[in-house]
Amino acid sequence: MASIRPQGNRYRAFVKVDGRRATKVFDTKRAALAWSQEQEAQLSGAQLPDKTFGDACQRYSEEVTEAKRGGRWDRIRIARFIREDPITKRRLQALAPADIAEWRDARLKQVKPGSVAREMNLIAAILEIARKEWGWLKENPMRDVRQPPKPKGRARRIADEEVEALAKAFGVWDSLEIETQRNRIGLAFLFALETAMRSGEICALRWADVHLAERYVTVRTSKNGDSRDVPLTSRAVEILKALPLGFQPVFGLEASKRDGLFRKVRDSVKSIKDLHFHDSRAEAIWRLSKKLDVLELARVIGHRNLSSLLIYYRASAAELAKRLG
Protein backbone atom coordinates (compact mmCIF):
# COMPACT_ATOMS: atom_id res chain seq x y z
CA MET A 1 0.00 0.00 0.00
CA ALA A 2 1.09 3.60 -0.53
CA SER A 3 0.98 6.67 1.70
CA ILE A 4 1.91 10.32 1.19
CA ARG A 5 3.14 12.41 4.13
CA PRO A 6 4.13 16.08 4.27
CA GLN A 7 7.80 16.68 4.98
CA GLY A 8 8.40 20.39 5.42
CA ASN A 9 7.43 22.02 2.13
CA ARG A 10 7.70 18.71 0.29
CA TYR A 11 5.99 15.29 0.27
CA ARG A 12 7.43 11.89 1.08
CA ALA A 13 5.87 8.88 -0.61
CA PHE A 14 6.01 5.44 1.04
CA VAL A 15 5.20 2.21 -0.80
CA LYS A 16 5.10 -1.33 0.64
CA VAL A 17 4.11 -4.44 -1.33
CA ASP A 18 4.65 -7.99 0.02
CA GLY A 19 7.37 -6.83 2.41
CA ARG A 20 9.23 -4.82 -0.25
CA ARG A 21 9.52 -1.09 0.45
CA ALA A 22 10.33 2.07 -1.49
CA THR A 23 10.31 5.74 -0.50
CA LYS A 24 11.11 9.06 -2.18
CA VAL A 25 10.60 12.80 -1.57
CA PHE A 26 8.83 15.08 -4.11
CA ASP A 27 8.09 18.77 -4.47
CA THR A 28 4.37 18.23 -5.10
CA LYS A 29 1.78 15.82 -3.76
CA ARG A 30 0.70 14.98 -7.32
CA ALA A 31 4.22 13.86 -8.26
CA ALA A 32 4.45 11.80 -5.08
CA LEU A 33 1.12 10.12 -5.82
CA ALA A 34 2.08 9.34 -9.43
CA TRP A 35 5.38 7.82 -8.33
CA SER A 36 3.62 5.77 -5.62
CA GLN A 37 1.21 4.28 -8.13
CA GLU A 38 4.05 3.40 -10.50
CA GLN A 39 6.07 1.82 -7.70
CA GLU A 40 3.11 -0.24 -6.50
CA ALA A 41 2.72 -1.63 -10.00
CA GLN A 42 6.41 -2.44 -10.26
CA LEU A 43 6.73 -4.06 -6.82
CA SER A 44 3.63 -6.15 -7.36
CA GLY A 45 4.96 -7.36 -10.71
CA ALA A 46 2.17 -5.76 -12.70
CA GLN A 47 4.66 -3.44 -14.39
CA LEU A 48 8.38 -3.70 -14.91
CA PRO A 49 10.56 -0.61 -14.47
CA ASP A 50 11.65 1.15 -17.65
CA LYS A 51 15.38 0.39 -17.44
CA THR A 52 18.06 -0.15 -20.06
CA PHE A 53 20.71 -2.83 -20.08
CA GLY A 54 23.19 -0.03 -19.42
CA ASP A 55 21.27 0.86 -16.23
CA ALA A 56 21.62 -2.74 -15.08
CA CYS A 57 25.34 -2.75 -15.90
CA GLN A 58 25.89 0.46 -13.94
CA ARG A 59 24.01 -0.76 -10.87
CA TYR A 60 25.81 -4.12 -10.94
CA SER A 61 29.16 -2.32 -11.13
CA GLU A 62 28.30 -0.10 -8.16
CA GLU A 63 26.56 -2.62 -5.90
CA VAL A 64 27.79 -6.13 -6.71
CA THR A 65 31.38 -6.10 -7.96
CA GLU A 66 32.95 -4.82 -4.74
CA ALA A 67 32.15 -8.09 -2.97
CA LYS A 68 33.44 -10.30 -5.81
CA ARG A 69 36.87 -11.71 -6.42
CA GLY A 70 37.89 -10.28 -9.75
CA GLY A 71 35.50 -7.38 -9.24
CA ARG A 72 38.05 -4.94 -10.64
CA TRP A 73 38.07 -6.76 -13.99
CA ASP A 74 34.26 -6.89 -14.01
CA ARG A 75 34.17 -3.10 -13.54
CA ILE A 76 36.64 -2.66 -16.40
CA ARG A 77 34.54 -4.88 -18.70
CA ILE A 78 31.33 -3.11 -17.69
CA ALA A 79 32.87 0.31 -18.36
CA ARG A 80 33.76 -0.91 -21.84
CA PHE A 81 30.21 -2.24 -22.38
CA ILE A 82 28.71 1.13 -21.50
CA ARG A 83 31.29 3.10 -23.47
CA GLU A 84 31.35 1.06 -26.68
CA ASP A 85 28.44 -1.37 -27.06
CA PRO A 86 25.10 -0.08 -28.47
CA ILE A 87 23.34 -3.03 -26.81
CA THR A 88 23.55 -1.18 -23.47
CA LYS A 89 21.04 1.36 -24.86
CA ARG A 90 18.40 -1.36 -25.29
CA ARG A 91 15.50 -1.36 -22.87
CA LEU A 92 15.62 -4.48 -20.70
CA GLN A 93 12.02 -5.37 -21.46
CA ALA A 94 12.85 -5.38 -25.20
CA LEU A 95 16.19 -7.16 -24.90
CA ALA A 96 15.93 -10.44 -26.81
CA PRO A 97 18.26 -13.44 -27.31
CA ALA A 98 18.72 -12.28 -30.91
CA ASP A 99 20.15 -8.97 -29.67
CA ILE A 100 22.74 -10.73 -27.52
CA ALA A 101 23.58 -13.20 -30.29
CA GLU A 102 24.16 -10.28 -32.67
CA TRP A 103 26.41 -8.63 -30.08
CA ARG A 104 28.28 -11.94 -29.59
CA ASP A 105 28.96 -12.36 -33.32
CA ALA A 106 30.17 -8.78 -33.66
CA ARG A 107 32.40 -9.13 -30.61
CA LEU A 108 33.95 -12.34 -31.96
CA LYS A 109 35.33 -10.28 -34.83
CA GLN A 110 37.16 -8.08 -32.32
CA VAL A 111 38.49 -10.41 -29.61
CA LYS A 112 39.14 -14.11 -29.04
CA PRO A 113 36.34 -16.57 -28.16
CA GLY A 114 37.67 -16.96 -24.63
CA SER A 115 37.29 -13.22 -24.00
CA VAL A 116 33.77 -13.23 -25.47
CA ALA A 117 32.83 -16.19 -23.25
CA ARG A 118 33.99 -14.31 -20.14
CA GLU A 119 32.02 -11.22 -21.16
CA MET A 120 28.93 -13.35 -21.82
CA ASN A 121 29.22 -14.90 -18.36
CA LEU A 122 29.30 -11.39 -16.90
CA ILE A 123 26.26 -10.31 -18.93
CA ALA A 124 24.40 -13.42 -17.78
CA ALA A 125 25.21 -12.58 -14.14
CA ILE A 126 24.04 -8.97 -14.55
CA LEU A 127 20.76 -10.02 -16.15
CA GLU A 128 20.14 -12.72 -13.54
CA ILE A 129 20.62 -10.26 -10.66
CA ALA A 130 18.29 -7.84 -12.46
CA ARG A 131 15.69 -10.60 -12.71
CA LYS A 132 15.97 -12.22 -9.29
CA GLU A 133 16.79 -9.34 -6.95
CA TRP A 134 15.83 -6.07 -8.63
CA GLY A 135 12.62 -7.13 -10.37
CA TRP A 136 13.71 -5.53 -13.63
CA LEU A 137 13.17 -8.63 -15.79
CA LYS A 138 10.76 -11.54 -15.99
CA GLU A 139 13.08 -13.79 -18.01
CA ASN A 140 16.83 -13.80 -18.59
CA PRO A 141 17.33 -13.64 -22.39
CA MET A 142 20.88 -14.98 -22.05
CA ARG A 143 19.51 -18.47 -21.33
CA ASP A 144 18.71 -18.97 -25.01
CA VAL A 145 22.05 -17.72 -26.39
CA ARG A 146 24.87 -20.11 -27.34
CA GLN A 147 28.33 -19.54 -25.94
CA PRO A 148 31.14 -19.37 -28.52
CA PRO A 149 33.16 -22.59 -28.92
CA LYS A 150 35.62 -22.97 -26.08
CA PRO A 151 39.22 -22.59 -27.24
CA LYS A 152 41.62 -25.43 -26.55
CA GLY A 153 43.55 -25.01 -23.34
CA ARG A 154 47.03 -23.59 -23.70
CA ALA A 155 49.68 -26.29 -23.20
CA ARG A 156 52.97 -24.42 -23.61
CA ARG A 157 55.86 -26.44 -22.18
CA ILE A 158 58.98 -24.59 -21.02
CA ALA A 159 62.31 -26.19 -21.95
CA ASP A 160 65.24 -26.24 -19.53
CA GLU A 161 67.19 -24.10 -22.01
CA GLU A 162 64.46 -21.46 -21.90
CA VAL A 163 64.47 -21.44 -18.09
CA GLU A 164 68.22 -20.91 -18.11
CA ALA A 165 68.05 -18.15 -20.72
CA LEU A 166 65.32 -16.32 -18.82
CA ALA A 167 67.05 -16.69 -15.46
CA LYS A 168 70.23 -15.21 -16.95
CA ALA A 169 68.24 -12.32 -18.43
CA PHE A 170 66.76 -11.61 -15.00
CA GLY A 171 70.19 -11.93 -13.36
CA VAL A 172 69.27 -14.88 -11.11
CA TRP A 173 71.00 -17.83 -12.79
CA ASP A 174 74.44 -18.00 -11.19
CA SER A 175 73.18 -16.63 -7.85
CA LEU A 176 69.81 -15.68 -6.40
CA GLU A 177 70.15 -11.89 -6.58
CA ILE A 178 67.47 -9.67 -5.03
CA GLU A 179 68.85 -6.15 -5.53
CA THR A 180 66.42 -5.02 -8.23
CA GLN A 181 62.78 -5.56 -9.08
CA ARG A 182 64.04 -7.27 -12.22
CA ASN A 183 65.87 -9.82 -10.04
CA ARG A 184 62.80 -10.45 -7.89
CA ILE A 185 60.55 -11.02 -10.90
CA GLY A 186 63.04 -13.63 -12.10
CA LEU A 187 62.95 -15.28 -8.68
CA ALA A 188 59.14 -15.23 -8.73
CA PHE A 189 59.19 -17.01 -12.10
CA LEU A 190 61.58 -19.69 -10.76
CA PHE A 191 59.42 -20.01 -7.64
CA ALA A 192 56.32 -20.51 -9.81
CA LEU A 193 58.07 -23.36 -11.63
CA GLU A 194 58.68 -25.05 -8.29
CA THR A 195 55.25 -24.54 -6.72
CA ALA A 196 52.67 -24.13 -9.55
CA MET A 197 51.42 -21.01 -7.75
CA ARG A 198 49.76 -18.29 -9.79
CA SER A 199 51.43 -14.94 -10.32
CA GLY A 200 48.88 -13.13 -8.15
CA GLU A 201 49.30 -15.67 -5.36
CA ILE A 202 53.08 -15.23 -5.41
CA CYS A 203 52.87 -11.44 -5.43
CA ALA A 204 50.38 -11.51 -2.50
CA LEU A 205 52.43 -13.95 -0.39
CA ARG A 206 53.33 -12.60 3.08
CA TRP A 207 55.90 -13.80 5.58
CA ALA A 208 53.21 -14.78 8.08
CA ASP A 209 52.13 -17.43 5.58
CA VAL A 210 55.64 -18.81 4.99
CA HIS A 211 56.63 -21.85 7.07
CA LEU A 212 60.21 -22.64 6.14
CA ALA A 213 60.82 -25.18 8.91
CA GLU A 214 57.82 -27.24 7.76
CA ARG A 215 58.53 -26.41 4.08
CA TYR A 216 55.18 -25.05 2.98
CA VAL A 217 53.40 -21.76 2.35
CA THR A 218 49.73 -20.91 2.81
CA VAL A 219 47.77 -19.30 -0.01
CA ARG A 220 45.04 -17.41 1.82
CA THR A 221 42.69 -16.90 -1.12
CA SER A 222 43.13 -18.71 -4.42
CA LYS A 223 41.22 -18.22 -7.67
CA ASN A 224 38.31 -20.39 -6.55
CA GLY A 225 38.08 -18.57 -3.19
CA ASP A 226 39.61 -21.37 -1.12
CA SER A 227 42.81 -21.32 0.91
CA ARG A 228 45.41 -24.06 0.53
CA ASP A 229 48.85 -25.12 1.73
CA VAL A 230 51.54 -25.50 -0.92
CA PRO A 231 54.56 -27.75 -0.18
CA LEU A 232 57.99 -26.39 -1.07
CA THR A 233 60.79 -28.08 -2.93
CA SER A 234 64.37 -27.57 -1.74
CA ARG A 235 64.85 -25.07 -4.58
CA ALA A 236 61.73 -23.13 -3.54
CA VAL A 237 63.07 -22.92 0.03
CA GLU A 238 66.38 -21.57 -1.31
CA ILE A 239 64.55 -18.84 -3.21
CA LEU A 240 62.57 -17.77 -0.13
CA LYS A 241 65.68 -17.75 2.04
CA ALA A 242 67.34 -15.41 -0.45
CA LEU A 243 64.64 -12.79 0.15
CA PRO A 244 65.02 -10.48 3.16
CA LEU A 245 62.34 -10.47 5.83
CA GLY A 246 61.94 -6.73 5.30
CA PHE A 247 59.97 -7.26 2.11
CA GLN A 248 56.21 -7.13 2.58
CA PRO A 249 54.86 -8.89 0.60
CA VAL A 250 57.57 -11.54 0.39
CA PHE A 251 58.75 -10.85 -3.17
CA GLY A 252 58.24 -7.09 -2.90
CA LEU A 253 56.28 -7.04 -6.16
CA GLU A 254 53.01 -5.59 -7.44
CA ALA A 255 51.16 -7.88 -9.83
CA SER A 256 50.49 -5.11 -12.36
CA LYS A 257 54.16 -4.06 -12.58
CA ARG A 258 55.32 -7.67 -12.60
CA ASP A 259 53.50 -8.39 -15.84
CA GLY A 260 54.94 -5.49 -17.81
CA LEU A 261 58.56 -5.96 -16.69
CA PHE A 262 58.42 -9.72 -17.24
CA ARG A 263 57.34 -9.20 -20.85
CA LYS A 264 60.04 -6.59 -21.40
CA VAL A 265 62.81 -8.92 -20.20
CA ARG A 266 61.32 -11.94 -21.99
CA ASP A 267 61.25 -10.03 -25.28
CA SER A 268 64.96 -9.28 -24.90
CA VAL A 269 65.68 -13.03 -25.14
CA LYS A 270 65.44 -13.65 -28.88
CA SER A 271 65.41 -17.45 -28.56
CA ILE A 272 62.12 -17.42 -26.62
CA LYS A 273 58.81 -17.12 -28.46
CA ASP A 274 55.23 -17.00 -27.19
CA LEU A 275 55.96 -17.47 -23.49
CA HIS A 276 53.83 -15.97 -20.73
CA PHE A 277 54.47 -15.88 -16.99
CA HIS A 278 51.40 -18.03 -16.33
CA ASP A 279 52.87 -20.79 -18.53
CA SER A 280 55.06 -21.51 -15.51
CA ARG A 281 51.99 -22.90 -13.71
CA ALA A 282 51.22 -25.44 -16.43
CA GLU A 283 54.87 -26.45 -16.63
CA ALA A 284 55.03 -26.87 -12.85
CA ILE A 285 51.89 -29.00 -12.89
CA TRP A 286 53.43 -31.24 -15.55
CA ARG A 287 56.49 -31.70 -13.36
CA LEU A 288 54.50 -32.28 -10.17
CA SER A 289 52.29 -34.85 -11.90
CA LYS A 290 55.37 -37.08 -12.19
CA LYS A 291 55.74 -37.05 -8.39
CA LEU A 292 52.17 -36.78 -7.02
CA ASP A 293 48.98 -38.71 -7.68
CA VAL A 294 45.98 -36.82 -9.03
CA LEU A 295 44.36 -36.24 -5.61
CA GLU A 296 47.59 -34.90 -4.12
CA LEU A 297 48.16 -32.69 -7.15
CA ALA A 298 44.62 -31.29 -6.96
CA ARG A 299 45.16 -30.35 -3.32
CA VAL A 300 48.52 -28.68 -4.01
CA ILE A 301 47.35 -26.55 -6.94
CA GLY A 302 43.79 -25.91 -5.74
CA HIS A 303 41.76 -27.66 -8.46
CA ARG A 304 38.30 -28.92 -7.57
CA ASN A 305 37.70 -30.66 -10.90
CA LEU A 306 39.92 -33.74 -11.12
CA SER A 307 39.01 -34.41 -14.74
CA SER A 308 40.79 -31.19 -15.76
CA LEU A 309 44.04 -32.66 -14.42
CA LEU A 310 43.93 -35.93 -16.33
CA ILE A 311 45.74 -34.35 -19.28
CA TYR A 312 48.88 -34.27 -17.14
CA TYR A 313 48.65 -38.02 -16.54
CA ARG A 314 48.39 -39.14 -20.16
CA ALA A 315 50.99 -41.69 -21.14
CA SER A 316 51.64 -43.12 -24.59
CA ALA A 317 50.88 -46.75 -25.42
CA ALA A 318 54.64 -47.42 -25.49
CA GLU A 319 55.06 -46.04 -21.97
CA LEU A 320 52.16 -48.11 -20.68
CA ALA A 321 53.59 -51.25 -22.33
CA LYS A 322 56.90 -50.75 -20.47
CA ARG A 323 55.01 -50.61 -17.17
CA LEU A 324 53.12 -53.80 -17.99
CA GLY A 325 56.37 -55.69 -18.57
Q: Is 312 a catalytic residue?
A: yes
* SS3 assignment for 98-148: HHHHHHHHHHHCCCCHHHHHHHHHHHHHHHHHHHHCCCCCCCCHHHHCCCC
Looking at 16, 68, 278, 287, which residue is catalytic?
278
Catalytic residue among 77, 184, 266, 303: 303
CA 45 – CA 165 distance, rounded (Å): 65
If one counts every other C-beta atom within 10 angstroms of the C-beta of residue 28, the result is 10
* Of the candidates 161, 153, 194, the residue with the CA atom closest to the CA atom of residue 272: 161
Print burial letters for 278-289: b (CB count within 10 Å at least 16), e (below 16): ebbbbbbbebbb
Catalytic residue among 24, 68, 90, 312: 312
- Catalytic option among 77, 104, 131, 198: 198
Give me the residues paired with residue 123 across strands. none
Q: Are 101 and 123 in contact (CB under 8 A)?
A: no
Q: Is the peptide bond before 113 cis (omega within 30 degrees of 0)?
A: no
Residue 198 annotated as catalytic? yes
User: Whole-angstrom distance between the N-terminal and C-terminal Cα of the chain?
Assistant: 81
Is 303 labeled as catalytic in the residue annotation?
Answer: yes
- From the list 104, 184, 258, 281, the catalytic residue is 281
Given 206, 211, 223, 235, which residue is catalytic?
223
Kindly list the catalytic residues.
198, 223, 278, 281, 303, 312
